[in-house]
Amino acid sequence: MTPSYLSDTRPDFTPFEIDCGKIPAFRFQGNLQSELAAGRIEPATAVDLLEDMLMVREMEDMIVRLRAGAYEPIAGFNYRGPTHVSIGQEAASVGACSALTLKDYITSTHRGHGDSLARGCLAIRAMDEEQMRKRVPHSRAASRQQLLEEALEEHVYRTIAELFGKEDGYCRGRGGSMHIADFTVGHLGANAIVGGSVPIATGAAMGLRYLRSGGVVCCFAGDGAYCNGVVLESMNWAAQAQFTNEIAGDHRFGVPIIFYVLNNHYAMTGRTDNEVTGVSHLARRAAGFADNNMHAEIVNGMDVLAVRDAVRRASQGCREGGGPYFLDVDTYRYYGHSLSDPRNEYRTREEEAAWKAVDPVLRFEKQILDCGILDEQGIASLEAKVRERNARAATRAAGSPDPDPADVIKYMYADTVVEKVPPAFQKTLLLEPPPAIKRADGAITYRDAIKEALIEEMKRDARVIFYGEDVAEYGGAFKLSKGLLESFGRDRVFNAPISEAAICGTAVGAAMIGLRPVVELMYMDFLLMAGDQVSNQAGKWHYMSGAQVEVPLVIRASVGGGKGYGGQHSQTLESMIAHIPGIYVAYPSTPYDAKGMMKSAIRDNNPVMFMESQLLYGEKGVVPEEEYLVPLGVADVKRPGSDITLVAYGPAVHDALKAADRLQVESGLSAEVVDLRSLVPLDIETLLRSVQKTGRCVVISQAVHMGSFTGEVASTIQQEAFDYLDAPVMRVGAKNGIAPQSHVLEAVFYPRVEDILAAARAIL
């Protein structure tokens, strides 16, 4: 059946024109007086907005003065780390956050101090007393106002402590300024990779749509990010027609995200407008991704009320199913990329003066004075309160404990799994019975074992969703997911655009807000397209956040050659991923292990790279229908022996078993075959026990020999069991080259049983 959202694709070459519509700019022409008169803001709220902008500016001005040795409250403090200040952009941060609710989320940039401070302040102001007391549990405040003051100061303290790399920082000093996050208020993290947070934000919004929470994601990213490939992929992702939203009978589509461009006109030193792009306004980017131009508009980012107005309208539109929205927020930063950038090579003094003439803080102070909300003494008192609060927080942060050096890699991995599914997700809607897995004498294929694991886990936990290229109606390139769409529906099983970075990045965002995505990379070669989102995002956020967040996702990737697919569809890249801390790597060799390990991977709270050998998809083995798990990080002795240890994983295990049989028949030698099953965590104890018994070892994989994970295994054995070895550890792998298409060449490119035998005989 053709999905309802697909249009007819029969040929029709009748001439027509596409009208891309108009993109409005600077719609808001009001001021504080008109907003007060219209009842869209209260006087107290206006004071709060000013206070929050002052807090952002004071904290960042502190950084500037610290670098110059001129911040008196902590004179002499050695501030180390990045200095990407956003002075001048206060209205853009505070105005946006003031239009969000507690159930909403933000992501931010490497220049994210202001976004983080603003989000926390506005969230704290929206909390009830019980929620605030959780942030300051030792408070003895007698009134809400006193409690609010304490919570705000604690927020400033923990922010500065993170900038200073202290244990009391939001991320326990592991993230620092470029990765600051507070997941308790929906801040999913600043990101040091330009554009790196945009697919995460998109995935979080996709998750909010699935959960029907009514939440919105405001994705702060700079103008430079909108020249980045994964950002454009994310915009396409967010606007997919298959993300349908029926609101009061109105057919809409897309996910609830606001692409919020902090357009300060400089990516670093290069100008986005009139230099590195071909559009005069970045808002035009949106026309390429949605027929409604993503409701794009250009906003005055130097006016906190204009920003507040635009984000309120955009967030409401998202809540009504009309997302995504695109806001090109015209703002300016007064300093260079960092404090080491004097900015005089590429800016004029006249340009800077013109922007400072519309300073967001000073202009809003004047409006508050003109409206009689505060007088000049009131403004001065507010400025003094902010300044003194920041000084107290900075002094406390400077003297607070540093992280314990013994904990340098603490929080690298989550140590939890899902043992019990929360009640809200135990009920799963099945549109029709899942496809039956047929057994012959209890045996099923490796492919069906993984499919059965997916079915069982999706039935068990409604948070498990599955997507990738061509995995829906077609069932994937290897037909592994055939029938899952019909059972679980398009909310949980759907096709992805050909955007590997967006596939993996959106999975990170969805995992961060509570889903448990399983995504498919058709071939592992395509992992290289998603390198940043896997290695810099999925693998690092648990650690960089100081264990505030877990990232439970599984990336399935078909691996290896032997099918004549050539150099770009045949790579075995597990060694690359094993080199990235923070990611588990699983590589089962049998149907039994494949099912049990997939189930364990889905329940684990770490990101797992799940390697599936194309050569093994058709292999059969006995797999119980009853519930069972195969733990990650536990090797398996597939064949006991006493004379030599053959260590392998994936399809190489089967070659090792054949070599062991040959050694027994031809030489009477007893070879023990150890299947690693998991590369990370690595079960070194099982390996050492085997080598201590046999005294000899060969390590085998189908990866290119150079830089292979077999070297890690061999060196660890040499280091930990040297006294037990009677010969050097040998390694067997593919040739140090590129996989050929020719079957004649491919036959000698990958290691064969004869190669394993030759290595074994050399040390026996």
Positive or negative: CA dihedral 637, 638, 641, 647:
negative
State the virtual CA torsion across 214, 217, 218, 224 in degrees, nearest 10: -150
Q: Tokens in use for 608?
A: 């797992």
Cis bond upstream, residue 15 (ω within 30): no
Contact 414, 177 (CB under 8 A): no
Positive or negative: CA dihedral 249, 253, 255, 260:
negative
Which candidate in 187, 295, 337, 569 is catalytic?
569
**Cα 223-229-235 angle, rounded to 5 deg:** 75
Contact 627, 656 (CB under 8 A): no
Helix (H, G, I), strand (E, B) or coil at 300: strand
Contact 531, 621 (CB under 8 A): no
Query: Among this protein's residues, is 569 annotated catalytic?
Result: yes
Give the closest residue to 450 by CA, choosing from 576, 340, 558. Answer: 558
CA pair distance 430, 445, nearest whole angstrom: 24
280's CB contacts (< 8 A; 6+ apart) are 273, 274
Residue 391: count other Cβ atoms within 10 Å of its Cβ: 17
CA pair distance 97, 124, nearest whole angstrom: 11
Residue 407: count other Cβ atoms within 10 Å of its Cβ: 12
Radius of gyration of the chain (CA): 29
CA pair distance 648, 42, nearest whole angstrom: 68
Give the closest residue to 112 by CA, choosing from 83, 136, 138. Answer: 83
Query: Among this protein's residues, is 155 annotated catalytic?
Result: no
Written as one string, the DSSP assignment of 554-572 is EEEEEE--SSS--TTS---
CA pair distance 297, 281, nearest whole angstrom: 10
For 73-191, where are the E strands, in sequence order? 105-107
How far lies 90's CA from each of 67, 328, 365, 583, in Å? 21, 16, 13, 37
Type of residue numbered 171: C
Which candidate in 500, 612, 619, 746 is catalytic?
500
Helices (H) and strands (E) in the chain, counts: 24, 21
CA pair distance 391, 380, nearest whole angstrom: 16
Positions marked catalytic? 500, 569
